[in-house]
Structure 1
Amino acid sequence: MAAPQSPGSAHTRTAPGSTLGRALMWPAVTAGLGMLLIYNSFGTSADDKPPAPPAAAVAPAVPEVLGSHAAPRPVAPSERPVGPALLRSVPTRLQIPSLGVNAPFTGLALGAGGRLNPPPANDPNMVGWFKDGVTPGERGASIVAGHVDTMTGPAVFLSLQFLKPGATVDITRADGSVATFKVDSVETFSKAKFPDKRVYSDTPSAQLRLITCGGPYNKTAKDYEDNVVAFAHLDSSKNG
């Protein structure tokens, strides 16, 4: 997900000559304004093999923001509503069994200049969602951002690129319900050619987008060159 400059998601890697390091570009979808923020973060590129789930996945959080990316306004779905959907309810916890992820949520808002504020930088295991957008389970595309790493080590979405189609993502909500999403695909996009419309546009069904940084780490730009995006749809729900 995208945009400003500040907190970032960095693995054990650190950006030379920087005390704080860069952060992921937190994707924010401004429903009426059509402004989105895409990820940026610190560190080096990820390994080819799936790393062991970080210990942080049991309690750490997310870092900063960087850069901005203007995107087209969300497109209203031309199709009729399809599939299951839930009423609006704030997400409280994200669990991805196949990756060992179990993380709390924090709401992300737009700050000065229309940029999305990042989650607290002192907890690499925290995930953020754009609180003025769709909540997970509502009809539309809900955006959830997490760091791949921070200045102190691995972060919550370190292994997101290894998530497989068919895997499940459980999101516990404030109303006590648990929304279970099924992964459709996990793709890597160059930040320079990020498909804003595909990722952020409105949808006729309840969708989820999990976003983090990925690809090579550009030491000159102090930023990852790509974004990893997991596309998922609401499969079922139950009371907690």
Structure 2
Amino acid sequence: MAACNRKRPAAVLDAGHGHAAAQHQQSPTCCKRSRASIGSTDDYEKVARLGKGGFGVVHRMRHRVTKKNVAVKFLSSPDVEDLEREARFLEVCNGNPYVVGFEGLVCDAATGDTAGLAMEYVAAPSLQSLSWDRRGDPPLPESTVRNFMWKLLTGAEKMHGHDRHIVHRDIKPGNILVGKNGELVKICDLGLAMSMSDWPPYNRAGTTSYMAPEMILGKKDYDAQVDTWSIGCVFAELLTGKTMFKGYLEDDDEDKTKNDIRQ
């Protein structure tokens, strides 16, 4: 099929406190392949809304002919560069069993422009949802936590590998899809990912409760260890049932957090 028409306006993302944010996004150099369209919006029917946030909305959609289910992300902004950037990262990660699979780009039926990013549909909740449903229950069994962590660490290692060089920058419970007993783990939402093939400076991105100290302090040449820190925070949360660090919400809290880190 023909590729979607591609608009390339300058990307501008909100940089906020206490939630996922990125002050600027590098254009990934790790993948330059073209991404063919898997169809138009008319080829799919909406089945259910899977999630909604400041970025936009994710729908479960089913192809009208093949009946295949996919998860499609639609941005609230008309800027499609962010979708295409995420598509490149997901395409590079194809073959990683612990990262949600890339399906293709969905085009607007009327204009032919990129409209949405289609991903593997995973019939599993996020770790955040699972933890919420378990609130008040005892912590997960050690064997389950071990299973979760092995797959999460393996997925991140493959993502960081020499042939990919991708740093997620927003690993947190809400961006990890899981099965109840650890039989399934999928890292998702690469919207804030970056390529280590790009030269610094790198900008701050992610969710403050899971953000590495060097990123909070404004270090511009951090590396994949920022994901390792985030994974450590997830590990602690799995063991205790509690968020390890509380993200700052106001500028005064940010200054206090920075002072605490420096001490």
Report TM bin, short chain. Answer: under 0.3
Larger helix share, 1 or 2: 2
Q: Which has the larger radius of gyration?
A: 2
